[in-house]
Amino acid sequence: MAGDDLSPLERALFKAVAEGRILTCSDLKPAQLADSTEYVIRASVIRDVLRGRYVSNLDPRGLRIQGARVVGQLDLDGMDCPVGIGFYDCLFDEPMSMRHAYLPWLGMGGTHLPELSAELVRVEGNVRLVDGFTATASNDWGAVRLRAARIHGDLDCNGARLTNHAGPALHVQNAHIDGTVFLNNASFTASRVRHATVVLLGAQIGSDLFFRNTRLTNTDGGVVLDLRSASVETLSLPEDIIDSPIQLDGFTYHRLGRSTARWDRWVHWLRDLVPSYSAQPYQQLAAFHRAAGHEAIARRILIAQQDDLAVRGGLSKVARLQHRLKRLIVGYGYQSWRAVIGLAAVITLAIGVGLIAGHTEAAPGRPVATHTDKTVQPRTPCSIVEQVGLGVDRGLPVINTGIRDRCDIDTGSAVGQVLTAAAWLLQLAAWALATLVIAGYTGLIRKTP
């Protein structure tokens, strides 16, 4: 490019970069710059400056431009930029690209552009797309694309407005971000999405992930947030942020921020908004609450997981029936007191069998339960205590009071046979309940498909 092709504003950029100053072109906002021809800087000139063509010694404070209209595509693909880049309240006519590039930092407060493509970019400091930063695109991969990016600082999208009419708004799949990701007071809108509105699939975030006053919209009713296999240190996700499908399978976190939704809201998300059943998000949530000392909440989360498994887990009819019985009897092993209550009920019924046998006649003047031939007075009625002991002996496994040597049911009568059969059934029920109590308290029944 010949030197006489340069505009006064472009020449002023060289001096500002050399001196480490912000080049303030105007105090106009991006919408006003759309009709301006006065505050124009060519993208090719900016690229040449970063390549050292016009300024040999760039100031470490970086290339910073305020209130300019950038014409042409700013293509920084593969470049090793010597200084950070800042565009503030600027308007880009064409997309900006920095795939496989390296730069110390990137700041784009209040700037408008069609799209930002920064796959595999390496940034030593922060990436700040803030304060009304706007990207409006129509592509498959994202209005802002940071797939597989390596950012050693923060990713700050506070106040950003990202819209994509044919794909995700923000695509940060498999990125590594050492600092915090801020998505507060921002709006992300997508339609015709094969991914999600905000894609953080596989992203590794070294610090915190914040959603506060964030608007996530998928105009086609699809997934708004994809956190599958992502990891963060602390998550702040208020309950009013999510009301559309999300994906959380494999997502891990160590802490939940104070503004994060209550556990029951999480259960609602996992049951009603996650597209298919997955055990891991429930287990992660339960582990967090258990580590915080909230054992009762952890159990309720795990019970909700098993309920979801029964509905959406693809169990066969037989397996679903068995699962429901576990729910009813021992709360899937997390409420073994249910089986203890059932066992107490069986004991009560067994005692009732003994009492009924002692008060029901097998023949005129002779009850079903009488003294045996081993006693001094055979065929005489048993005492109340003997009737209770008889019921316990007949109805419960293992337990043997020895009472049947003195008092027993006369199985020669029809009533006696019915009561004996009832005692056998109670014995089976007692065996089953006792087994479930032991399995529940030892954790053997707590399987997580």
Nearest to 141 by CA among 99, 100, 170: 170
| Domain end point (choices 264, 284, 317) | 317
**Residues 48-72 pLDDT 10s:** 999 999 998 899 999 999 999 999 9
Mean pLDDT for the chain overall: 90
Q: At 258, is the pLDDT very low, low, confident or very high (cuts 50, 70, 90)?
A: confident
Give the Å distances, CA to CA, from 118 to 47, 146, 152, 217. 16, 5, 15, 23
Residue 385 confidence (pLDDT) above 70:
yes
67 Rama class: left (phi>0) / alpha (psi -120 to 50) / beta: left
Tokens matching residue 332? 């899937």
32 contact partners, CB below 8 Å, separation of at least 6: none
Residue 100 confidence (pLDDT) above 90:
yes
Same domain, 138 and 272: yes
Residue at 259 is within a domain? yes
Residue with tokens 């009709």: 35
Q: At 395, is the pLDDT very low, low, confident or very high (cuts 50, 70, 90)?
A: confident
Residue at 375 is within a domain? yes
Same domain, 222 and 264: yes
According to the model, what pLDDT value does residue 391 have? 87
Same domain, 398 and 296: no
| Domain end point (choices 251, 286, 317) | 317
According to the model, what pLDDT value does residue 161 have? 98
**Residues 310-336 pLDDT 10s:** 899 888 888 888 777 777 666 666 666
Query: Domain residues for 28?
Result: 3-317
Same domain, 284 and 370: no
Residue at 329 is within a domain? no
Same domain, 428 and 309: no
Tokens matching residue 396? 């419960």
According to the model, what pLDDT value does residue 377 have? 87
Give the type of residue at 131. D
**Residues 342-363 pLDDT 10s:** 778 888 998 899 999 999 988 8
Q: How many domains does the structure of the chain reveal?
A: 2
Same domain, 261 and 289: yes
Identify the burial level of 430 via C-beta atoms within 10 angstroms of its C-beta, where 0-12 means exposed, 13-18 middle and 19 or more buried.
buried
What single-letter DSSP state applies at residue 134?
A: E
Which comes out higher in pLDDT, residue 100 or 315? 100
Same domain, 310 and 355: no
Same domain, 390 and 426: yes
Residue 199 confidence (pLDDT) above 80:
yes
Residue 449 confidence (pLDDT) above 90:
no
Residue at 211 is within a domain? yes
Return d(Cα 150, Cα 124) in angstroms, integer: 8
Give the type of residue at 56. S
| Domain end point (choices 269, 284, 317) | 317
Residue with tokens 């690229």: 47
CB 250 within 8 A of CB 228: yes
Same domain, 384 and 243: no
Residue at 326 is within a domain? no
Average of pLDDT values for 254-264?
A: 91
Residue at 201 is within a domain? yes
Tokens matching residue 232? 């963060």
Same domain, 231 and 83: yes
Residue at 152 is within a domain? yes
Q: At 20, is the pLDDT very low, low, confident or very high (cuts 50, 70, 90)?
A: very high
Same domain, 284 and 159: yes
Residue 444 confidence (pLDDT) above 80:
no
Same domain, 63 and 108: yes
Please state the pTM of the whole predicted model: 0.80
Q: Give DSSP secondary structure letters for 330-361.
A: HGGGT-THHHHHHHHHHHHHHHHHHHHHHHSE
Residue 339 confidence (pLDDT) above 80:
no
**Residues 31-49 pLDDT 10s:** 999 988 899 999 999 999 9
Tokens matching residue 343? 């066992």
Residue at 327 is within a domain? no
